Structure 1
Amino acid sequence: MTTASVLPPSPPPLPALRSAAPRTSVRISSPGHVAGAIAQLAALGAIGPAVFGGLFSLLGAGVGLLFAVLIGVVVLAGLVYALYAVAWFEQARLEGLYGFELPALRVRRSPKPGFVGVLHTIWLQAIDPRQWRAIASFTVSTVLGVVALLLVGAVAWGLALAVSPIFGWTPVSFFGLLRLNGVAGPLVGALLALVAVGALVGLGLLHGVLARAILVPSREALLEEQARTSDTRRAGAVRAAEVERTRIERDLHDGVQPRLVSIGMTLGLAQTKIDDDPEAAKALVAEAHASTKSAITELRQLARGIHASVLEDRGLDAALSALASRSHIPVTLDVRLPRRCSRAAEAAVYFSIAEALTNAAKHSRAGNCRVDVRVRDDGSLWARVEDDGLGGARIVPGGGLDGIVNRVTAAGGTARIDSPQGGPTTVEVTVPCAS
């Protein structure tokens, strides 16, 4: 039994994806960028110290309660995600101001299941280098913001001093150090305002330079990251091909090959009886014919596991509907795809879902499965398979879950498997739509 949700009309196609590499040639010295930087720095100078006060309060409370009450661990975990929120805000602010086209800052997740996976997730988030670079940028911007507020005050004081003759030529004290009489007051005020405005412009330019230096990786760093990613994907592809070859060999050796041997023996036995006992020979031929049909079915299923033609012809939605209809347990499908993704991305998600459903049918004693597939805002293809079985699934080298991880890694994506004892088991994969 398969239940498929009724989908709403497809939304319009998503806009073209931005380049994966950050822009290092953004013009940060344009008047609009400088003016925007000065305004944002002034705002950060007002709110930044309060933000850091809250973060240090969380740190102090967490450390103070760490040994007395275990709630300190919860407070420190909250601090990690408070830092993530500040980092996300800082990157979004700079992205809106300069348009560096940096990859979105996302919460990191561990592939490990259970409570260990929760702790590992918090640890991965705490050591995320991109998060700490954004925190460093926010810190520098806050310091510059405090200076910007002082300069704004100096501009205001200088302008007030420059127009002081309108209200009478009263002597003015310059910061309590020098008494200005007559025309000296307006001249010093105008000069101070000009110097402070120039300093603000320089501060806006410095902010752009420092933001680009902290957040935008150099060309060498980009090349190194691309090389590491290519090595990881190549290793995943090799491992996925090895697991797939092993599976095909096992299916042929344990399934089709014995059946073909049996057919040959049955036909040989029928040949010996065809003259003496024609009826028995006919029965043996009929048995061989039925076994041949079963072998053809097994070969078709094996070929479908290697290459799903419906996936290429009609897309992921139709391929998953056909897959769910063949499932031994009821499957609820919720597939919402506004457009086709690349062949590699669709194949990785399809075979991951197929393997997850196969594992659920064989091992989990599940009564139902749910499959959700979406194209996220960042252009990645996301899928989630959840069953209501017993749980306890583990990644074993050469096993089905290992095949999922390797296939998704080869496509440049990530896989997360959560299967606590007692269930449910959840397999979640994310693959770049243009992988």
Structure 2
Amino acid sequence: MATEYGQEHGRGHGHPAGSGFPAYEGAGRSGLPAVLRAPFEVRSRREFGYVLLSLPVAIVLFTWTVTMVALGAGLLVTFLGVPVLAVALAGCRGFGALERSRARALLGVAVAAPEPLRTAKPGVFAWMGAVLKSGASWRSLLYALLQFPWSVFSFVVAVNFWVYGWALLTYPLWFWVFPMYAGQGGLQLYGDAHHSVYLDNPFEITMTSLVGLLFTLVTPWVVRGLTAVDGLMVRGLLGPSRLSARVVELEEDRGMVVDTAAADLRRIERDLHDGAQARLVALAMDLGLAKEKLREDPRAAARMVEDAHGEVKTALQELRDLARGIHPAVLTDRGLDAALSSVASRCTVPVRVEVDLPARPVPAIEGIAYFTVSELLQNVSKHSRARSASVDVWRSADRLMIQVMDDGVGGADATRGSGLGGLAGRLGAVDGVLVVDSPAGGPTRVIAELPWRA
């Protein structure tokens, strides 16, 4: 594993914004507070548009769902009820795809599609069974039933806030129509048989406009709160379930484990073929030549045997290094503290090692922790240009925590297809996490979390 540490890797290290909306164009230049910018932001217009569209979409979806489900339930006494219910659920799934797209485009809420339908064999009956057994289908139906009343409520609240806000804010521009067309002094607040109250003097007109301004400033935040509930409904009912997401994650992790194991086997085969095996073949040939020269030239044979003895030592050292790369004996015998100290002694910079564990974790987790630190220290040696480094290992609740720090040039990035990305994938295969904090200029801090199993 090799990850280059350099300033070119430091660019773009920040996390992307998750809102999904472009920033208000004048925000940086105007310096206005968010409460004053909100009514004019693109995000606010999109959210208001989402609320306006929700009502007609909800009416169509609710009508489809109630009609088809009622029809299907009524026909269950015959076989026709089953396909009708299947078509109803399939239609809800289709509307769910539309709602995910709408939420992504207008709210910036990116929700993955639920698990696809899985049929054991092709055919209409297999498809109907898959639709009826799919949890995503029934969650889409529940979304159709819940979204309708919520959309009505959101539409009424958002439209009233918006209309009343702008109507009152612009009241000084249109209050003059009352004496001209209605013969009154302004907008009537109260009236009975004895007296009436109109907004017709400058103070009342100004206060009306200020109330409208308050409504106008509050409306985007009210709409944002309403659409936040919509986002929760889309995520919770139209996305993949936690169980299916976990299954997909485990399948990906299993593939990662298989690929890693295959890569390790290829590496071991290559190292044996190019290293110890080649030396042993050459050693066998040299010993054969020494055997032939033993009677003719004993001195030459002795020199060849001596050279062969050196080759044996070299081959043994290569085999020891290879065995250490598979699983070091010191880790098995003495645990992480001694094994990590041995790794640190081979680093090109001074490394402080501190291991504070109440007990030894299971061998699998202990091995992953060892190789994680080993690869991170290799990065420090090859790319960091650091003067010192440190390794800390401790337990926090049910997690094994590893922190590797160095004072090098920084710029390490796990998102650019580097070795750190591969290491993060291998940790993820056992529910581990790798976090890299490496600004340009340093220092670099890498934290790895592994599940604690003793």
Please state which band the TM-score falls in when normalised by the shorter chain: 0.3 to 0.5
Bigger radius of gyration among the two: 2
User: TM-score of the superposition, structure 2-length normalised?
Assistant: 0.44
